[in-house]
Amino acid sequence: MKKMMKTKVLTIIGTRPEAIKLAPVVLDLKRRQDLFDFPVCVTAQHREMLDQVLALFGITPDYDLDIMSPGQTLAQVTARAMEGLEEVVSQEKPDVILVQGDTTTAFCGALTGYYHQIKVGHVEAGLRTGNKYAPFPEEINRCLVGRIADLHFAPTEQARQTLLNEGVADPSVFVTGNTVIDALLWVRERVRAAPPELPKGLFEAVTGQQIILVTGHRRESFGDGFDAICHAIREIADSFVNVAFVYPVHLNPNVREPVNRILGGHPRIYLIEPLAYGPFVWLMDHATIVLTDSGGVQEEAPSLGKPVLVMRETTERPEGITAGNALLVGVQTERIVDGLRLLLCDSERRAMMVAVNNPYGDGLAAQRIVNVLLKME
């Protein structure tokens, strides 16, 4: 009898959001290990922030390129990732390489696949702003990955249409939902059942306060943009005594400098280290408003019934804006202050924003992706 060959899927992960969004896929491949080999390679473009997620989902990478260096440039990440991935792919010779999103790791993973003439699957395909410098360099990273990919896992119908409009062949595009919702629902269940440990004193400090949860890290906002964001947060913290800002500060030094300089020492602004995913989801679940420039957080907050103010001029996730879950407030102090005041003072407005469904997924995206991989020629 002919022995059935397993399909070998090499998953490549670089940063925190890629780990969160690919963990459900890796775990689903593992559930089908009778049919798949599923080596995992982390470039470790992120280090601590990545390791937190891998530990939570119990994923031990088969390869760890450990490329992160403090304050690394885009060229350094690209060069180190390309060199390391070359070796891994030569050794593993997978049937398909999976990359996620729009990071430098995702781009390098796709390019390495192309150089080796190996199929590439792109998770979270078809997101575009149409502005090559916003988000920077993610917009071009995902266009390039999309150009290379053989399988496009689009989170929404709108993302699918974008790909088709760019000339991508219809049978290679699959609308799956976003895997971040799979990860979020898994973690939400756990943190609702057993609240996770928060940094010392934080729980007591924010109890009885309206929590505004903040994250920010976009490269196009470095410099004046981050100064403006921080001034807005400070202005609201000065005027609302029953509001607590909780801000897990991204480890990028370009973020930490202005945040510590402008917001450090304020009694109602809690600057903390990046949180493991569990405590972060718990805080989102207890927040009144989420203020962010993050892609993943924009997608998650509506599933927890939280209104989102997006600190960007444009977003490749317009579905939340159209549905009414999110408002774009840019990176000018006045607009952010106005947005925060509007939501803090108007509970009906907040309620309207969360009354609509999450457009980003239903928690079954990973299964759909793995089913496509099963049928792959």
**Is 266 a residue of the active site?**
no
**Is 217 a residue of the active site?**
yes
**Is 219 a residue of the active site?**
yes
Q: Where are the beta strands (DSSP E) in 145-295?
A: 151-154, 173-175, 210-215, 243-248, 269-272, 289-292
What does 252 interact with, of ligand UD1, ligand UDP, none (CB < 5 to 8 A by kind)? Answer: ligand UD1
**Is 138 a residue of the active site?**
yes
Contacts to ligand UD1 from residues 115-174, by CB under 6 A = 137-138
Q: Which is nearer to ligand UDP, 38 or 277 (CB)?
A: 277
The catalytic residue among 32, 47, 116, 219 is 219
Contacts to ligand UDP from residues 288-317, by CB under 6 A = 294-297, 300
Contact indicator for 135, 218 with CB cutoff of 8 Å: yes
Contact indicator for 256, 274 with CB cutoff of 8 Å: no
Which DSSP string corresponds to 272-327?
EPPPPHHHHHHHHHH-SEEEE--HHHHHHGGGGT--EEE-SS--S-HHHHHHTSEE
Site string (59-88) toward ligand UDP, x via CB under 6 A: ------------------------------
Q: Take residue 313 and report the two structure tokens written for it.
A: 């001029």
Query: Residue 225: enclosing H or E segment and its boundaries?
Result: helix 224-239
Identify the residue among 9, 10, 11, 17 touching ligand UDP (CB under 6 A).
17
By CB atoms closer than 10 A (0-12, 13-18, 19+), residue 84 is buried
Least distance to ligand UDP from the beta carbon of 1, Å?
45
Q: Which is nearer to ligand UDP, 96 or 249 (CB)?
A: 249
* CA dihedral over 228, 232, 233, 237, signed as positive or negative: positive
For 115, residues 6+ apart whose C-beta sits below 8 A from its C-beta are: 86
Least distance to ligand UDP from the beta carbon of 6, Å?
30
The catalytic residue among 46, 160, 234, 250 is 250
**Is 235 a residue of the active site?**
no
The piece of 32-40, 164-172, 269-277, 346-354 that touches ligand UDP (CB under 6 A) is 269-277
Q: Which is nearer to ligand UDP, 164 or 328 (CB)?
A: 328
What does 358 interact with, of ligand UD1, ligand UDP, none (CB < 5 to 8 A by kind)? Answer: none
Contacts to ligand UD1 from residues 231-290, by CB under 6 A = 251-253
55-63: long-range contacts (C-beta < 8 A, 24 or more apart)? 55/276, 56/23, 56/187, 56/276, 56/277, 56/278, 57/19, 57/23, 57/26, 57/27, 57/183, 59/19, 59/23, 59/26, 59/27, 61/13, 63/39, 63/88
Identify the residue among 31, 33, 48, 66 touching ligand UD1 (CB under 6 A).
48
Site for ligand UDP, rule CB under 6 A: 16-17, 20, 180, 215, 217, 248, 274-275, 277, 280, 294-297, 300
Task: List residues near ligand UD1 by CB under 6 A.
Answer: 15-17, 45-50, 68, 70-72, 74, 77, 102-104, 137-138, 217, 251-253
Active site residues: 102, 124, 138, 217, 219, 250
